[in-house]
Structure 1
Amino acid sequence: MDEKWINQLLSIELFKDIEKEELKSVLSCLKSSIKNYKKRDIITIEKDKLTGIGVVLEGEVSVSKETLDGDRVMMSRVKRGDLFGEIDAFSKDGWLSTVEAYTDCTILFLHPDKIVGVCNKACEGHKNLIQNMLQIVAKKALSLNEKVEILSLKSIRKKISTYLIQQYSINNSLIFDIPLKRNELAEYILVSRPSLSRELINMKEEGIIDFHRSSFRIIDLKSLRECLG
């Protein structure tokens, strides 16, 4: 593997506390491979056989699921240094979602059986990798729980308010950029884009929030929280 990828991998959460030479050995054990994709290429399809846990080396990918009604629900955007497919690997049911190249991207794939299964070498680097993976899966479970919380709400205003309060907590600031474009946010909270835009404008006119494209400012946090009542 190219030395530049090795150096980049040392800085991501999955390979935390693993030395450089150990990492090279672990990657060999995991039967790692690198693939390049063009923007809008389909990387995985929901319910297909799981081919490997993906690590985004360059670019971004979008993760989505299809509802029983045939609607597409945006689950997340995965950026450089982040993973996709880690929960899928533990489920043993194949890909749980569809992953599409949001931009041109380079993906490192790791053989799932070598991570969630038993390694005969049982090296220290591999042990650290498994511990890191479990921490990442735990965080992803919390994130999915937040997503379920939003989808369970009936009111569009409650969905928007819940999402913005989550982003406020993540950024620890009343001013922040959200990681989704307007149409992606509509998909994420499962509402139509016109309905989303209309409610955002209403909240802006009421002096609760202000926004421009993906930049938001919470003007009245108390009123925003009261929207959840």
Structure 2
Amino acid sequence: MKRYIQQLQKNDLFKNFNLNNIEIILNCLSAKIVTYNKRERIFLQGDPINFVGIILSGSIRIIKEDIEGNCNILAHLGVNDIFAEAFACAGIDECPVTIQALENCEILFIDCKRIIRTCHQACTFHSSLIQNILSLISKKNILLNEKIEILSKRTIREKLMAYLNMQIQSTHSKKFSIPYDREGLANYLCIDRSALSRELCNMRNEGVIAFKKNEFEIL
């Protein structure tokens, strides 16, 4: 655990915490580290979920599966990203999504109930922790609204351009990489993979974009 303390100081959940405070609060919360192999499921849709997860190494994806087995990628997360905080803090009985390791990874788990309730030791850090997790949930809500905006577009090109323009805003550059391969991007945008590839080629031929694998440039 100690080898990750400095890394965790950069996580928004521990904003304004010094290294010593982080170590104290992790002990207070009985945080634990669990290792997962590539493609292993961290949470299955329908599982009980009481824990907030922080990615210490590796990457994961969050997917929504329908009854026919079709997948919709909701998010792709990497080192120091936090997940499941909204689900755990909402007190819902079942996880509404599946969370899967994209590669070998280590996850730090914290019981959400121990975050939002003051402990018997009355740690002074708890109020700051609660403020930080509320801020995180608010930021995730903004990202969710962005995806709703993308999916509200009528055509494949409109969805693509909405997504790519958001990457420009996020990176402050017309050249950027995205965390998805073609299948992943198609799932994220809720469109057919073949139709996506066809539209990307059309946009490249028209001089709208240039791309190589997951590297894109808006022209």
**Shorter-normalised TM range:** over 0.9
Compute the displacement of 1:70 (Å).
Answer: 4.1
Task: Compute the TM-score of the two structures, normalised by the length of structure 1.
Answer: 0.90
What displacement does 1:9 show? 1.2
Q: Residue 34 of structure 1 contacts residue 109 of structure 1 at CA under 8 Å; is this kept in 2? A: yes
Query: 1:86, 1:137 within 8 Å by CA — same for their partners in 2?
Result: yes
Matches within 5 A, 1:135-154: 135-154=135-154
Range that drifts further, 145-154 or 156-165: 145-154
Mapped partners of 2:17, 2:84: distance in 1? 21
Counterpart Cα distance in 1 of 2:158 and 2:116: 38
More off after superposition, 64-73 vs 178-187: 64-73
Pairwise CA distance, 1:55? 0.3
Partner of 2:190: 190
Q: Are 2:61 and 1:62 equivalent residues in the alignment?
A: yes
Counting only pairs closer than 5 Å after superposition, residues 45-194 of structure 1 correspond to structure 2 as 45-67=44-66, 70-93=69-92, 94-194=94-194
Structure 1 counterpart of 2:31: 32
Shift of 1:157: 0.9
So what's the TM-score if we normalise by structure 2? 0.94
Contact kept? 2:118, 2:126, Cα under 8 Å? no
The amino acid across from 1:14 in the alignment is L
Distance 1:11 1:48 in 2: 30
Deviation at 1:72, TM superposition (A): 0.7
The more displaced of 109-118 and 81-90 is: 109-118
Q: Over aligned residue pairs, what C-alpha RMSD do you find?
A: 1.5
The CA distance in 1 between the partners of 2:127 and 2:208, in whole Å, is 48
Structure 2: which 5+ residue stretches go unaligned?
none
Which structure 1 residue ranges, 4+ long, deviate > 4 Å from structure 2? Answer: none
Quick one: structure 1 residues 71 and 151, their matched pair in 2 at CA, closer, same or farther if it must change by over 3 Å? Answer: farther
The equivalent of 1:6 in structure 2 is 5
Residue identity opposite 1:111 in structure 2: D
**Structure 1, unpaired ranges of 5+:** 220-229
- The alignment of Structure 1 onto Structure 2 pairs a total of residues equal to 218
